[in-house]
Structure 1
Amino acid sequence: MAHIQLPEFEDMTPAIQEKARPILEKTGKLGEIFKLLALDEKLYFATDGMIQRFLLDETELSYEIKESIALLISKENGCKMCVDVHKGIAKMLGLSEKRIEEVLNGVEAIETSEKEKALLTFCIKASKKENYKILKEEIDALKALGYTDIQIVEAVAITGYFNYINTLSNVFALGE
């Protein structure tokens, strides 16, 4: 049970209800993270914009890499709810059960290129408290593997997003 009172559909603003309605029609329920964000319209729409732009829209990184980052960072942060949610999203986006299990077993367990492993390992390092110790040489190494500046920034932005959403979920005991 969440550590704070989460709003029900009827308690949400009309603008958020409009976003909630299709989810309710499709799944019959709203997740706790949705309800937590629905406490404040600015918070909800800022977060929704990040979800749309980083994860759902087609971007410079493949859905497979983006969902791998989502799963890895959520697992690193101990966010069971986000891991469970993103296992489902990953399947919906076409990731195989095998790939999802590999990701959840860590970067070295993933059957993929060394290039992709390097980016995922970098994202894990970027998610840590001491990310300020990342050196230019580490970013240059990703570029030498063929990643563009935009792809690297996008990967770090997704990493930061999951640190953010995992923190909200963990602090307020969502999904327990």
Structure 2
Amino acid sequence: MPTPEQAPISRFPVPALSEIPSDIRDRLLAVQEKSGFIPNVFLILARRPEEFRAFFAYHDALMDKQGNLTKAEREMIVVATSNANQCQYCVIAHGAILRIRAKNPLIADQVAINYRKADITARQKAMLDFAMKVAFEAYAVGEDDFATLREHDFDQEDAWDIAAIAAFFGMSNRIANVGNMRPNDEFYTLGR
């Protein structure tokens, strides 16, 4: 059995940087310059350039936009739903981003293990309750769920954002799990 340092980052082939189209390679190198490493998800998805571009265009539209949800709250949705989907890659990677964006070294572990007991606001708990319902019982979402969100100052557009993030990362979690995607070691210590 390979040691963690020797284990492949995916069960699917990962292209060399020299084989990746220049627009994607430029993005990977920019991420590397900013963070000090290239997250494995970028390398793994680069094997299919059109899918890479579509994936990250939607990811960026959901996660980097301005709105009533903070960037940390968006990451909370990813961490909570990814944990429920048992997606190690997304919990570790987005947990690191959550710690950084929330400026709180404890929050990601709390949200991943049990957001209902985490040191977060009632508003954030309502947001995560809705996200979890979207992730696992979208067919049961009803007007009562929207009323609860409104009680916590979330509007229709916020509800859309919460639902879209939960849904998008449900797909991402499944790809990561099927691909046996390994989180970069660097993620484990970021924001601690």
In structure 2, distance between residues paired with 1:110 and 1:28: 30
Partner of 1:103: 111
Residues 1:151 and 2:151 are matched in the alignment = no
Structure 1 contact 6–32 (Cα < 8 Å) conserved: no
- TM (normalized to structure 2)? 0.82
Aligned pairs for 1:5-154 within 5 A? 5-27=13-35, 29-128=37-136, 130-154=137-161
Classify the secondary structure of the residue corresponding to 2:181. coil
Classify the secondary structure of the residue corresponding to 2:176. helix
Partner of 2:175: 168
In structure 1, distance between residues paired with 2:36 and 2:118: 34
CA shift for structure 1 position 28? 5.4
In structure 2, distance between residues paired with 1:110 and 1:85: 19
Classify the secondary structure of the residue corresponding to 2:106. helix
Which deviates further from its counterpart, 9-18 or 49-58? 49-58
In structure 2, distance between residues paired with 1:144 and 1:24: 41
CA shift for structure 1 position 27? 4.8
In structure 2, distance between residues paired with 1:31 and 1:164: 18
Structure 1 alignment gaps of length 5 or more: none
Structure 1 contact 127–159 (Cα < 8 Å) conserved: yes
Identity within the alignment, %:
19
CA shift for structure 1 position 66? 0.8
Aligned-pair Cα RMSD in Å: 1.9
